[in-house]
Structure 1
Amino acid sequence: MKPLTLAILLVLSPALNAETATPTALIDTFAKLFGEHKGERKGHAKGFCAAGEFTALPAAKQFSQISWLSGATVPVTARFSMAGGNPKAPENSRSPRGMALQLKSPNGELQHFAMLNTPVFGAKDPDVFLGLLQSSLPNPVTGKPDLAKVQAFRQANPSTLPQAEYLQKNSPPWSYATSSYFGIHTFFLTDSSGKEHKVRWHFVPVDGVKGLTDAEIKAPPTDFLQQRLATRLQQGPVHWTMQLVLGEAGDTETDPSQSWPASRTTLDIARLSIQRQGDDACTGINFDPNVLSTGVRASSDPVLQMRSPAYAISFGKRLTGQ
């Protein structure tokens, strides 16, 4: 077989080019992709803390045995962030934004949320995600990724397309306050009768969704997201409505690259209120989305399950200045 033909096959065939993902491999690849930034988060490196409150709405009554849906006002520590491992990421880029939350109920239970402003994740499982990252590594000669290689990998692995297409069709947020955030994984909530419900969650901004204009996207990179949230907070708290999307039979539980049908029943179950920027209040928090309170169970989604050990490695490196 000619070398060129073999090279093309290696790119186009996931079976030939596959590597089993491990937490260490994912973290190491992030470092190769974004550079070494000691003491920073390896993913969502650029971000800042905020604080506020979380209160259940009447529709949450059926889940009132879950501590943060009992009706009591729960304090929230939050972090808003850019995706990726670049602490100087351009804030007008077509890349995901994140909102992470830690709720602390009166009984001491913690509940974490780690969400994106895209309704789906960038790959169906850790192996494909690792392959996508590796296909995006810069060429050692040019210092830039080979876009043809990235495109070939995406075409050979269609689960990498929905998030990319969403980012191209939807403008990046004008402010963190004017963005929806999606819990891209499936969880199970137990109601007061003991019945489990398959759910995904969605935080909808009360201020409405607003994106950057084409001119702002094409403008030179600049930092504005933290200042715009600070300016908005001078007017009062920023609110999101937490919607619970109820899954049905046949809706995927394990593939975060797939959306559920838009026709699914949704419940407005809570109100998130961000009241202030939080200095370094979130610095010591590892926003592992598998930190769940009683009555909430994680699905077997392999991406969700991989996040705990990968986050732990990143957290350990950050605490030790690596």
Structure 2
Amino acid sequence: MLTRVSFIAAAVAAAFATLSVGAIAADQPAQVNPYAAPQSASATDFIEVFAKLNGKTPGYRKGHARGVCAAGEFVPSAAARQRFATPLFAVDKAPLIMRFSMGGGNPNADERRGARGLGIQFQLDDNQFHHIAGLTVPLFAGKNPQQFLGLLQWSAKIQAGEATPADLQKYFAANPEMQAQREWSQGRQASAEYTSSNYYGIHAFFADQPNAAAQAFRWQLEPVAGEQQLTAAEVESLPPSFLDERLTERLKKDGKVVFNWVWTLAEPGDATNNPAQLWPADREQVTIGTITVTSSGSDQCEPVNFDPMRVALGISPSDDPVLPIRSVAYAISQGMRLNNQ
């Protein structure tokens, strides 16, 4: 089970992939509870707090700083073509630029612990693109950006000796929506390989249908070979860096790694604006196609900003308040990285 201190690192790493919302009106009453979430959050706030947590990291992504490029292809399913109206499914296959990564902003993150991330750029006809970005956890650490910002700010205070883990516990108690991700993660070890875990998009999106209203969905990638976590013994014995090597070895041995891309379809009443809340387990799922990893180790992903708001025609973001702040934060990070900041 995670200790209070280790949970700080795990929560920060797991949640950063999902990041502006404006300030609450000025006539709102002053914040009374010191453990309430901040009243507002901006993309700049996240960039600044990650600098406090990780120091200056010139030339690196501010989130998912440690990672490796990969490539592959997407083949849509017949069901995807029949049920949804988007150029994403009009292709026979689409080349993919991919990046596996560690959560958080530490370029030297310990790969034995923490969430893994995956960004994918689908290269479509007419120079069009579709992006997805996922984590190995299905929930966000808060219902909105403000709650997540508060988590990071308290974590930075603890790291600087200005607060204690007990303060973080009080913050969680004051923001109960944050408990779901924490509870889901307890008792779970990190994946043994980048390719041996499910990846979850966390946020809701909408897909156009030929003869019906747009359908809300959340997505996940499921490795055909199944999931495999590290054992407790491996966590203690492995070096801090091993995932890149294991990915290379896996592709050399098997030639490829295949994921099923699965969409979970919402029903009326399912929240599309709360990434900290799972939908009921009985929701319909549709296998949209296969995503195959065929190579790794190049640098072709380095220029790519895996912004999940950049989607193909026929796909649109939901009203999830985390999505727009994530897009802006990624853009700021991209500009800083390309300018070696």
What TM-score do the two structures reach when normalised by structure 2? 0.87
C-alpha deviation, 1:64, in angstroms: 5.5
Partner of 1:230: 248
**Alpha-carbon distance in structure 1 between the residues aligned to 2:115 and 2:147:** 18
Q: Distance in 1 between matches of 2:325 and 2:260?
A: 28
The 8 Å contact of residues 219 and 263 in structure 2, kept in 1 or not, is answered as: yes
Q: What letter corresponds to residue 172 of structure 2 in structure 1?
A: R
Alignment partner, residue 340 of structure 2: 321
Choose from 141, 144, 150 the match for 1:122.
Answer: 141
1:81 aligns with 2:116: no
5 Å matches for 1:199-218? Answer: 199-218=217-236
Residue pair 2:158, 2:165 contacting (<8 A) in 1 also = no
Secondary structure of 1:68 counterpart? helix
What 5-or-longer segments of structure 2 have no aligned partner?
A: 1-31
- Residues of 2 paired with 1:176 and 1:140: CA distance? 28
Aligned match for 1:179, one of 197, 204, 211: 197
CA RMSD of aligned residues (A): 1.7
Which of 49, 52, 66 is the equivalent residue of 2:86? 66
CA 1:37–1:58 in structure 2 vs 1: closer, same or farther (change >3 Å)?
same
User: Which residue pairs with 2:184 in the alignment?
Assistant: 166
Give the equivalent residue in structure 1 for 2:164: 146
In the other structure, the counterpart of 2:317 is 298
Q: Is the 8 A contact 1:118 1:163 kept in 2?
A: yes
The letter for the 2-side match of 1:58 is A
Q: In the alignment, which residue of structure 2 is the partner of 1:155?
A: 173
**Matched letter for residue 298 of structure 2:** D
Instruction: Give, in whole Å, the separation in 2 of the partners of 1:52 and 1:299.
Output: 28
Question: Aligned equivalents of 1:243 and 1:141: distance in 2?
Answer: 42
Q: Which moved more, 1:279-288 or 1:211-220?
A: 211-220
Q: How big is the shift at 1:207?
A: 1.4
How far apart are the structure 1 equivalents of 2:334 and 2:273? Answer: 25
Of 3, 23, 32, the match for 2:43: 23
- Give SS of 1:190's match: strand
**1:141 and 1:318 mapped to 2: Cα distance?**
25
C-alpha change, 1:284 and 1:154, in structure 2 (3 Å) is same
Provide the C-alpha distance between the structure 2 equivalents of 1:108 and 1:66, rounded to a whole number of angstroms.
15
Shift of 1:195: 3.0
Q: Percent identity?
A: 39
What is the CA–CA distance in structure 2 between the aligned matches of 1:186 and 1:141, rounded to whole Å? 36
1:72 deviates by 1.4
Contact 1:11/1:149 (CA < 8 Å) preserved in 2? no
Task: Note closer, same or farther for the CA distance 1:141–1:269 as it changes in structure 2 (3 Å cut).
Answer: closer
CA shift, 1:214, in A, is 1.3
Structural mapping, 1:105-120, within 5 Å: 105-120=124-139
Mapped partners of 1:305, 1:314: distance in 2: 14
Work out which of the residue numbers 278, 282, 307 in structure 1 matches 2:326. 307
2:153 aligns with 134
Is 1:40 the equivalent of 2:60? Answer: yes
Three-state SS of the structure 1 residue aligned to 2:156 is coil
In 2: Cα distance, 1:255 partner to 1:25 partner: 21
Alpha-carbon spacing, 1:32–1:59, altered in 2? closer, same or farther (3 Å): same
Which among 112, 116, 122 is matched to residue 92 of structure 1? 112
Cα distance in 1, alignment partners of residues 159 and 147 from structure 2:
23
The answer to whether 1:260 aligns with 2:287 is no
Q: Choose from 50, 70, 76 the match for 2:70.
A: 50
Q: Once the two structures are superposed, what CA deviation does each residue of 1:111-156 show, in whole Å capped at 9, x if it has no partner?
A: 000101101111110111100100101447649x721111111111
Provide the C-alpha distance between the structure 2 equivalents of 1:194 and 1:292, rounded to a whole number of angstroms.
20
| 3-state SS, counterpart of residue 20 of structure 1 | coil
